Structure 1
Amino acid sequence: MSDKPKLNVYLCAPRGFCAGVVRAIDVVEQALRKFGAPIYVRHEIVHNRYVVEGLKRKGAIFVEDLAEVPDGAAPVVFSAHGVPKSVPEEAGRRNLRAIDATCPLVTKVHREAEIHFRRGRKIVLVGHRGHIEVVGTMGQLPEGAVVLVEKPEDVARLTFSPDEPLAYVTQTTLSMDDMAEVVAALREKYPRIVEPHKQDICYATTNRQQAVKEIAGKVDAFIVVGSPNSSNSQRLREVAERHGCRRAQLVPRAADIDWSLLEGVAAIGVTAGASAPEVLVEEILDALAEKYELILDTITTATEDVSFPLPRELRERVA
């Protein structure tokens, strides 16, 4: 008979890796197999330190600027978040072997923005200033073609005339609730604004947030497994707080758990951001099991079967 206190643990499903992250990691691993180490990766391939460190051990070298990539045959991979057009252009001028691991759902937003620009529309991008995905999306078009808004107050400050042709696109990893508030403000101020044919927030972000919403009101605390620089992971923590769970924490590894937030809890929710591997969820559960007798329950709100093909230059290797 265990003398540990009982703890009901509600596991969100889906959680963890999305198809875009799986593809991006596969790109690096397949490039290492095909070309050998080292290969260079511009920016973290996905925002998770555990994943990045694992790829470093296999021979990947992570850089923030192409100037750090030496001339030669070693490939350079662009991260899942996408890059401004100036980056592949620079790689072309230097004859670097560039491999694009941009998530296809981010590329979809890039193409939407380009189409709007060709049709003479000014573009409003809903997203977080400075985020690598936002930098990449804004960098698809000439400076000034895209205006960034983060919150409804930013919409109020826009100075477009009511008759000016406008369209909006969004970062793929936003909070659904936050995005809805900003879009409502855009629609109210500019009723003729052109919307995406299909929402830009990706299926994985939507599904993971929905699972958190389902559980947040039933638990005393929430652990979101993910890195602090992961936008979708940060949004999961915010969603848990917004929907009734005030003791939510974002935890990169088990060693980072703030145990003071778990004092006196009887039920806890656990999820993982789209760039966090399942092994880290298992590590968190092992840490909880050292202090509690766990009663596990998985709450499934969606089933995912999405997959994306590798870039053409790597498909032959897999086949």
Structure 2
Amino acid sequence: MKKVIYTEFGGPDVLRLLDAEEPHAGPGEVRVAVRAAGVNPVDWRLREGQVLGAHPITLPAGVGLDAAGVVDEVGDGVEGVAVGDQVFGEGTDTYAEFSVLSGWARMPAGLTFEEAAGYPSVVETALRVIREVGVQPGQTLLVSGAAGGVGSAVLQIARDRGITVIGTAGAENQDYVRGLGAVATTYGAGWVERVRGLGRPDAALDLAGAGVIGDLVELAGDPRKVVTIADLDAPRLGVRFSNQAGSMKDALAEAVRLISDGGLHIPVQKSYTLGEAAAAHIDSRSGHTRGRRVILI
């Protein structure tokens, strides 16, 4: 099978599309013929050699955590899913023609493989950081980097829970952020004052790593009310860096509920082939994403 791998840490040029042995489902796992794989910032962070405790890397390594595809192998002890089922979920080395998933759910009706591949990690992350930051219904949450994949999920989940969101995004994404139920403003010079003019946030999330941790702490009033998924230096200011994933099974169940009820939609901004994995990483790292980027197999 074809698979994207890297044998050394470095820039996107270390990625190679090579022939590799097919993986097989172990106990409690399923194997899928991958139709699409989600592109997440963690993919290029790991490729660069950033130290992320939840994802230790042994070289040579594959790439990718999220996938949507067709089950073609079911491991021992697995119930409720059969060969031929269309599923989406989280696994290992998903930039490949076949991948083993450790957490999955059946794809909601009407969702394409391309769309489905964009949901697993971002929904789990969104649910986790909302929980960790402690924001409650009726309160106001400030989201820096509101237009990306996780931001798109956070805004819609918060809306479903009765949480008011102030979201920062580029000028070109203001209408998009408003369309997801948030109060939108631009980042850049004067953004702190603009946020103050919109309301007092009870908590804040940094989803973009734009060097705004100090400002978020000032706006929220307490470093314990701020959580980041993008700034590795944030703990120096007493802010939690969230990277310990929660239950993917629970996250996917919530995703299926919201998608089926029409309360969650994350658009795909751009799709790539396996051979374009390096370009996908370059685009993902540059930011300014509206929704998701995925690789089609």
Q: Point out the structure with the larger strand share.
A: 2
TM-score by length of 2: 0.36
More helix by share: 1
**TM-score in terms of structure 1 length:** 0.34
